Structure 1
Amino acid sequence: MKKRPQKTLAFRPGHARRALAACAGAGAALTGYMLFEAQWLQVRRLELDIPGLPQELAGMRILHASDLHAGAPGPGSRALDKFIAAAKDCDPDLVLFTGDMTDKKKELGPYVSRLGEIGARYGKFAVLGNHDHGLRKTVMQDLALKLLGRGHRGAREAPDGSRQAATISRTRELLSRAGVELLANECRSVEMGGGKVQVCGIDDFQYGYGDLAAAKRQFDDAADLRILLSHSPDAVAGLESGDYQLVLAGHTHGGQICIPRPGGKILLSSSGSDYGDGVYRTGAAIMHVSRGVGTTLLPFRLLSRPEVTVIRLAAGTGAGTSPAC
């Protein structure tokens, strides 16, 4: 009985070239889209119900912006331009920045004057983030920690305090030229329409500069509403119920580059935080975590559009969302 000859697969260079071309085309398309998404700024409008909010403060509008990363390679300056244009149209009562206003701390000077173009009825306040202090880690470090389940939570040991003081002093002076007041473990009270709002801000919590106790010692008992600004959302774990009614944070970029996987997504820039982006009702307060405006290290975003948020406060017991403007 004759054996049937076995079929062999012939190598055809044309097939390989077409496969490589298809992969290259898909990669180029994905890269192009991620560059586009990094510029696709979303202006979101949220309505947050704050329990016990007096009628005098109902309807107040807060512009929350975070992680501008001005000066970052690629889309950094263009994203800043789009943010400034959008912010001018939002007519806020307060403008609140939650850190990482530049990609590297030495880059703040050339960009800070742009923040003066944004108006606010009752003031503009900001806190510092890790990039403002010159403290960074790489995307690959973030990803490795995430894959290993060893993402950072809580505060690290604080670096050199003298460097912290120098950064605060320099940044405070620069921001003041744009009408922005820097809060470094400090609080300020603002009279607003017959009510009093106290805005407190802590220095970068992730690297151990934040001091919640120092801010708490400055509490104004006459305040009708107290807001905490923190670059890292993980600072909320150190709060007691009643300390603040609203917490604003950033830092995570909403992941910046989000890779789908079974059961969820890998968020490259979440830095191990328990919070990604959006509104959270914690035991201590309502918190909004911004996806931020800019990018860091890589000029890309995927499934995490940059955003600036206009928050309207209402008296109530829950948190609601209205369509973006």
Structure 2
Amino acid sequence: MNRRSFLKSALSCGALAFAGSYPILIERNIVQVNRYKIPVDNLPLSFHGFTLAHLTDIHLGFLVSPSFVEEIVHRTNSLNTDAIVCTGDYVHNRNTIEEIDTVWPILSKLSARYGVYSVLGNHDHWGDSNRSLYWLERSGQNIRHQCKPIYKGRDRILIGGAGDFWGDELMIDRVFSSSDQGDCRILLSHNPDSVDTGFETPLSLVLSGHTHGGQVVIPFLGAPRLPVKNKDYSSGLIATPRTPLFISRGIGWAILPVRFNCYPEIAVLELVNPRLVA
């Protein structure tokens, strides 16, 4: 083999090695902070510009270390958003009290001026429902099957939490059973398919995860695999017939430890009243 052929072969092998390792070793570990403006029709004017840091699908376990999660929590706190919301799948494996007992002391360090609100996902129930529910309550972040008001003067918004679509009962109507007719209701629900179930309560916004954005997004074609019934539910803000739905790409991985054209994210949502947006 002459020098030119050797260099060409070496460069080709290097390119193939990079292409093969990039989704596993590089993009999967680059966590972006992405900011979104979210119009909410009945948002009280005093809440215009209210910010939420949205965390989901951390999946502590293989290739997602406690130190990695510590850094996510530190970065989220440093964003100084008004509140923090978490929509489940904090652990990865089934039957794993150890992972649950590892991740929740870290998540309990989340802090925001108007509070931290969390629900569980299917992996949390598969890990161990009772232990996950124990830590959810102990953390002071529990919003499952209930809603809590955030006040600014006499104005308020309600943050509510559904049970997981696969591992629990949703109970969306029960969540907001004590709300008033004109309330701004924001629901945390791990699986976005929850939006298509048979609840009657009007919702102002639903925040979900679960899809990971598909993890692999092919340009012009989208994500070839989404773990939801409604294949329109990938990531970002989606106008469903019933309510605006925001789906975060999340932090960790499922099925395969890869990300391509679908960076993990901490989503920062700025709630805006459309009447005040030029």
Which structure 2 residues correspond to residues 67-86 of structure 1 after superposition, within 5 A? Answer: 67-71=57-61, 73-77=62-66, 79-86=68-75
Q: Which runs of 5+ in 1 are unaligned?
A: 1-11, 136-165, 321-325
Partner of 1:191: 150
Alpha-carbon separation, structure 1, partners of 2:198 and 2:46: 26
* Partner in structure 2 of residue 109 of structure 1: 101
**What is the CA–CA distance in structure 1 between the aligned matches of 2:264 and 2:175, rounded to whole Å?**
30
When Rg is computed on C-alpha atoms for both structures, the one with the higher figure is: 1
**C-alpha deviation, 1:271, in angstroms:** 4.0
Judge conservation of contact 2:43–2:157 (CA < 8 Å) in 1. Answer: no
* Mapped partners of 1:60, 1:235: distance in 2: 25
- What is the TM-score with the length of structure 2 in the denominator? 0.84
Give the partner amino acid of 1:314. V
Aligned counterparts of 2:192 and 2:275: Cα–Cα separation in 1: 22
Q: Distance in 2 between matches of 1:128 and 1:199?
A: 15
Structure 2 CA distance for aligned equivalents of residues 241 and 30 of structure 1: 48
1:205: Cα distance to partner? 0.9
Question: 1:270, 1:276 within 8 Å by CA — same for their partners in 2?
Answer: no
1:208-228 deviation per Cα after TM superposition (whole angstroms, max 9, x unaligned): 632334335x24116631111
Structure 1 match to 2:17: 28
* Residue 205 (structure 1) aligned to one of 145, 165, 175: 165
Q: Aligned pair 1:248/2:207, yes or no?
A: yes
Q: Is the 8 A contact 1:280 1:288 kept in 2?
A: yes
The residue number in structure 1 matching 2:135 is 174
State the secondary structure of the residue aligned to 1:284.
coil
Counterpart residue number, 2:193 = 234
Shift of 1:78: 5.1
Contact conserved, 1:41 with 1:79, CA < 8 A, in 2? no
Matches within 5 A, 1:20-169: 24-34=13-23, 35-71=25-61, 73-77=62-66, 79-104=68-93, 105-106=96-97, 107-134=99-126, 167=129, 169=130
Residue 236 (structure 2) aligns with: 278
Please tell me the residue identity of whatever aligns with 1:180. Answer: Q
Gap change, CA 1:204 and 1:240, over 3 Å in 2 = closer
Change (3 A) 1:319 1:26: farther
Q: Which amino acid aligns with 1:51?
A: D
RMSD: 3.1
Query: Which stretch of the first structure deviates more once superposed, 28-37 or 274-283?
Result: 28-37
CA–CA distance in structure 1, aligned partners of residues 230 and 165 of structure 2: 12
* Aligned-residue offset at 1:93: 2.2
Check the 8 A contact 1:255/1:269 in 2, yes or no. yes
What residue in structure 2 maps to residue 155 of structure 1? none
Q: 1:287 to 1:319 in 2, by over 3 A?
A: farther
Question: What's 1:303 paired with?
Answer: 261
Instruction: Provide the rounded CA distance (Å) in 1 between the counterparts of 2:223 and 2:275.
Output: 32
Q: CA deviation at 1:246?
A: 0.8
| Number of aligned positions between the proteins | 271
- The 2-side partners of 1:20 and 1:223 are apart by 67
1:162 corresponds to: none
Name 1:267's counterpart in structure 2.
224
Asked if residue 287 in structure 1 is aligned to residue 245 in structure 2, the reply is: yes
Stretches of structure 2 lacking an aligned partner (at least 5 in a row): none
Q: CA deviation at 1:288?
A: 0.6
- Taking the aligned partners of 1:314 and 1:108, their CA distance within structure 2 comes to 35
